[in-house]
Chain A
Amino acid sequence: QEAKTGGTLRVLGTAEVDRFDTVPPATAVTGSFFRAVTRQLISFAASEDPHEQIAPQADLAESVPTPTNDGLTYTFKLRQGVDWNAPGGARQVTSADIERGFMRLCNPFLPSPSASYFEDMIVGFADFCAGFAKVDAKVDTMKAYIEQGDIKGIETPSDDTVVFQLTRAANDFIYLLTLPVTSPAPVEVLDYLPDSPEYRQNFISAAPYTIESYVPDSMVRLVRNPVWKAENDPLRKAYVDAIEVVAGVQADAAMQQLQSGDGDMLFDIPVPPVTVQMLKMQGDEKLSTLAEGASKMIWINTVSNNNDGALRNPKVRQALNYAIDKAAVVQQYGGPEFATPLNGIFPLGILGNHDFSPYPTPNNQGDPEKARALLAEAGYPDGLTLKMPFRNLGIDPAVAQVLQASLQKAGFTIELVPTPASDFYARLITNFDNALNGVWDLVPSGWSPDWPGGAARSIYQPQYTYDGTHGTFNFSDYNNDAASEVAARALTTTDLAESEKLWQQVDEMVVADAPTVPLVSLTTVLYHGTAVENFLPFAAGGNGDWTNVWLNR
Chain B
Amino acid sequence: MSDMTPVPDDVLLSVNGLKKYFPINHGWLQRQVGEVKAVDDVTFDIKKGETFGLVGESGSGKSTVARLILRAYTLTDGSIRFRRADDSITELGGLDEKQLRPIRSEMQMIFQDPYSSLDPRMRLLDLIGEPLVIQGKLTKDEIRDRVQELLGLVGLRPEYVMRYPHAFSGGQRQRIGIARALALNPSFIAADEAVSALDVSVAAQNINLLQDLQEKFGLTYMFITHDLGMVEHISDRIGVMYVGRMVELGDTAEIFRKPLHPYTEALLSAVPQPDPRRRKEGKRIILKGEIADPANPPSGCAFNPRCPYATDLCRTTIPALREISGRQVRCHHAEELDLTGVGE
- A and B from one assembly? no
Residues of A within 8 A of B (CB): none
Residues of B within 8 A of A (CB): none
